Structure 1
Amino acid sequence: MALWDRIKESASTMQVQLNEKKNELKSGGFRDASMAMCALVAAADGSIDPAERQRVSALIASNDVLRNFPPQDLQSRFDDNCQKLTADYELNKVELMQTVGKLEKKPTEARAVIQIGIVIGGADGDFDQDERAVVKEACFALGIPPHEFDL
């Protein structure tokens, strides 16, 4: 199987798993960590391309699990996180990783945030090394072994 196909299959599998847990994923902490993860994946290479930002925004709006929250609220949080990363990537990356790490004691939500990162990163069929690295870093912030997600 080609790498491209494995990436698409993995992202699809992650989305199915997320949908199965949709009713458990309604907390404000999950919302905030998810939007932090989306911004971190969008900025994984150290900058946020406007086209990628738009693509991630569209994925957020169309994600079934994230429909537990008002779309304009998610968009506002995602935009704020992107602005922080654009202003000072290194400093604000630490802050957003801390937001993700707050779910460490909530394993269902923590794994769901990692899955969202993989879905967002792999949606274009290219879950690149920078995106994989930021999701792997989030695993460490959550105390989850990255190998659970083939990272």
Structure 2
Amino acid sequence: MALWDKLKDSASSMQTQLMAKKNDLKSGAFRDASMAMCALVAAADGSVDPAERQRVASLIATNDVLKNFPADDLQRRFNEYLDKLAADFAFGKVSVIQDIGKVKKKPVEARAVIQIGIVIGGADGDFDKTEQAIVREACYALDIAPTEFDL
């Protein structure tokens, strides 16, 4: 199986797993951690490209699991996280990862945040090494073994 097909299957599988847990994913901490993860993946290379911002914002708006929350609220939070990362990536990353870490004590939410990162990272068909490294860092912040997600 080609890498592209494997990646698409993996992202699709993650989305299916997320949908199965949709009713358990309604907390404010999950909402914030998910938007932090989306911003982190979008800015994984240290910069925030306008096209990447728009692509991820569109994915957020159409993700069925995230429809538990008002779209405008998600968009605002996503933009706030991206702005932190754009202003000073290294400092912003520390803050954003701290917000992701707030779901550490809720294993279902913590794993769902990682899965959202993988879905967002793989949505363009290229879950590149930089994006994988960012999601791996989030795994450590959540006390999840990256190997659980083949990272």
TM-score by length of 2: 0.99
1:28-43 aligned at under 5 Å gives the runs 28-43=28-43
**5+ long unaligned stretches in structure 2:** none
One-letter code of the match for 1:75?
Answer: Q
Question: Aligned equivalents of 2:53 and 2:126: distance in 1?
Answer: 15
Partner of 1:81: 81
Question: Aligned equivalents of 1:118 and 1:9: distance in 2?
Answer: 12
**5+ long unaligned stretches in structure 1:** none
Question: Aligned equivalents of 1:54 and 1:106: distance in 2?
Answer: 30
Pair 1:141 & 2:141 matched = yes
Question: Aligned equivalents of 1:53 and 1:6: distance in 2?
Answer: 25
**Displaced runs of 4+ in structure 1, greater than 6 A?**
none
Partner of 1:44: 44
Tell me by how many angstroms 1:102 deviates. Answer: 1.0
Partner of 2:123: 123
One-letter code of the match for 2:73?
Answer: D
Question: Aligned equivalents of 1:9 and 1:50: distance in 2?
Answer: 27
One-letter code of the match for 1:29?
Answer: A
- How many matched pairs? 151
Tell me by how many angstroms 1:7 deviates. Answer: 0.8
Tell me by how many angstroms 1:13 deviates. Answer: 0.2
